[in-house]
Structure 1
């Protein structure tokens, strides 16, 4: 029997006003969220846009990084390049099989999230309790499409700028209405 296809999972920290970034950086410091991000992405092929990769600055250990860019000249060591989200997903599915990964995390930025939302199976959202100015946003989460399956309120730790909630969503199945 064939292995099940890996879930496409959008992983994002999102402010109350939908902001996810400002000037190619995150508008907060959330050590607790970074630990969750690592747990959700470790051992997986991870897809991100070029600006997100440049904000991170390097490939993250324990993951395969696929960068989506229209810039044909962009290249750096330790990553894979894809010219479209579709090409990135094709590569990620192949890598997931090699790695034994059950998920393909998509980790930003705003354009990639918007393009990937209709394809995603799950959302792993950190709701950040703030409303900062920003120039990158996460798409609206439509409750008619997405069902919340878990919510965990997390107070701000000593290395966190704000309290947050870890929220998991799954795509509703049309035939079951759930």
Structure 2
């Protein structure tokens, strides 16, 4: 099972200058809870945005760079198809970014775990549009802005419609 997990604003903004454009502690907690113990697939720039590999997850980094050096336990591949092939079958594996990887992964994904941030922000990286003809919203959970969360947000779960 391949799940895309992301946080995107109302205008589908993901980030700017290889960084997030908001700080939502409850989104980080959800991301950690869902991805811990699983394989996570990402592009090189997303991997480089972390200070160190995320604990208790197997990182699969997609890059065209030859001899790209990563810490022990991380896997480097040259394409999304090779990244998916490196994941265990019959397990939930996650696509965690960035924008181009999300776009490439959308046709392969079984579900999307999206945190919709209720704001319009300036960004240079965007999440692809979700086609309502292909995806069914199965869960939504609204969270208002508060002292720890500058913006209101909604956790959304989509599953691919079966044809």
Length-normalised TM-score, structure 1: 0.88
Q: How many residues align?
A: 162
Consecutive aligned runs of 4 or more in structure 1 exceeding 3 Å deviation: none
Query: Are 2:142 and 1:149 aligned?
Result: no
**In the aligned structure 2, how far is the partner of 1:156 from the partner of 1:38?**
21
**In the aligned structure 2, how far is the partner of 1:39 from the partner of 1:52?**
19
Corresponding residue of 1:46:
40
The offset of 1:145, in angstroms, is: 0.1
The offset of 1:92, in angstroms, is: 1.3
Query: Are 2:11 and 1:22 aligned?
Result: no
**In the aligned structure 2, how far is the partner of 1:23 from the partner of 1:77?**
23
Corresponding residue of 2:77:
82
Q: Any stretches of 5+ residues in structure 2 without a counterpart?
A: none
**In the aligned structure 2, how far is the partner of 1:113 from the partner of 1:120?**
9
Length-normalised TM-score, structure 2: 0.96
> Residue deviations 1:129-171, cap 9 Å, x none?
1111101000000000000000000123433221100000000
Alpha-carbon contact 1:128-1:163 (below 8 Å) kept:
yes
Corresponding residue of 1:106:
95
Secondary structure at the aligned position of 1:118 is classed as coil
